[in-house]
Chain A
Amino acid sequence: MRVILHGTRGAYPTSSIENQKYGGNTSCIEIIDGDQRLIVDAGTGILGIDFDQHYTSDRIDILLTHLHLDHIQGLGFCKPLFEPDKEVHLWGPGGSTNSLQSRLNRFLSPPLFPVVLRDIPCNLQIHELPNTTFSLGRFNITSEFISHPGPTVGFRIQNGSKTLTYIPDHEPVLGRAHLYKEDEWVSGLGLAMRTNLLIHDSQYSKKEYGDKVGWGHSSLEMAAEYSARAHADHLILFHHNPAHSDDFRTQMFDTFMEKHNYDFPIELAVQGQEIEL
């Protein structure tokens, strides 16, 4: 299984020269096993995917963790949606009252977007995800609601003997310095348990988090503690704050690493990065 990080930025895309190192596109990753591919989240990173070259089959599957704009902003410009011979399957969390389709409609309709969802030319199939496990080809996928404002799921994706866990927006505990000591009380921990690769929210510094409790994101410290509790093999810190320059982000990470000694690799996500599992 190969993972490509097409978009690593949180909140909004940035083209600033100060954000070129880790990339300016918002959340999107691609998971590849031979001729099978999955796209997870449709931030502006999805626009970096070469659909003509890599998606020769008629079917494309896109998993959405949630519908905050930085995770769907690329959807309206995603080429296969405008090709009548393509079958695009969108998988995302249902809401308490409104369906996934009606919530997507709010974005893909005027005045925010010129084309309404029903007029998208491709054969669009929308699937609501509860807490469930399902298969797409050789990928076995578990989705589970996790702690983030609005309906939001995390994904655990298994391919053969390898697993990837993707929780790009997550506040596993609100306003506490540490996770609850009992595993069953930690949001989404089952998704991440003993995973080979954990891609996790790390938007804030520990100090910043103090002013952003309830906003749905993690500090570097919380992401690392979460990864350690899950016994993940490898942590990639994701969802970089676009208000931070890359130099600031690097400095924040270096300071964090100097103070902590975890027994698994931790690195900052880089747009375009490929990881082989």
Chain B
Amino acid sequence: MSGHTIEIILSRQLADCLTVPVFIVDPQGTLLFYNVPAEEILGQRFQDSGPMPVGRWSTLFYPLDEDGNHLPAGELPLVKTLNNQEPAHKSFWIKSLSGKTTKISVTSIPIIGRSKEFTGAIAIFWDNERRI
């Protein structure tokens, strides 16, 4: 069997304990895990969906800039981190499938463990309009 690396597994354990939404993706962008607070953003439960390819989870909400224009994927922190393996941060708006629009800040960091391999990225979301 091919299991996740220990740094990915421990990232999930951390995410499980947090009250802010967290995404964990592999280097291809597959959403390996999202915690319960993140289920509100995606409108799905992890125990129902399991891992999701980037082509699926990226369609579950719409990122918008301050003028309400669609934000290109390359502008999203998590995508930047996947592309250049560096931390990224940005505040923007998201519109869920239910039509709800929320201003959020996202910080993403690369996950590089002791094997020095880039094994994915973790993104932490902060709802700017309320303390989560």
Contacts and interface: CB of A to CB of B under 8 A. Distances in A.
A114 to B, nearest CB: 31
B65 to A, nearest CB: 36
A190 B33 CA distance: 19
B1 A193 contact: yes
Given A96-B114, A131-B115, A147 B9 contact: yes
A95 B114 contact: yes
B5 interface: yes
Nearest to A181: B47
Contact of B114 (A151, A186, A188): A151
Chain A interface size, as a band, is 20 to 34
B4 A145 contact: no
B59 interface: no
B122 to A, nearest CB: 15
B83 to A, nearest CB: 24
A25 interface: no
B43 interface: no
A183 B114 contact: no
A187 B10 CA distance: 9
B55 interface: no
Chain B interface size, as a band, is 10 to 19
Say what secondary structure dominates the interface of chain A.
Answer: loop
Interface string A112-151: 0000000000000000001100000000000011110001
Contacts, number: 51
B128 interface: no
Contacts of A185: 3-4, 9, 12, 33
Interface in B1-15: 1-7, 9-10, 12-13
Contact of B2 (A96, A147, A190): A190
Nearest to B119: A131
Given A184-B2, A189-B3, A173 B13 contact: yes
B3 A184 contact: yes
B12 to A, nearest CB: 6
A96 B3 CA distance: 21
Interface in B103-127: 113-117
A184 B113 contact: no
B13 A184 contact: no
Cβ-closest 6 pairs across A and B: A130-B115, A145-B6, A184-B3, A190-B3, A131-B115, A190-B1
Given A145-B5, A190-B1, 10 more contacts: A130-B115, A145-B7, A145-B114, A145-B115, A183-B3, A184-B4, A185-B33, A189-B3, A190-B2, A193-B1
Interface of A: 93-96, 130-131, 144-147, 151, 173-174, 180, 183-190, 193
Interface of B: 1-7, 9-10, 12-13, 33, 113-117
9 contacts: A94-B114, A96-B114, A130-B114, A130-B116, A151-B114, A184-B1, A188-B3, A189-B3, A190-B2
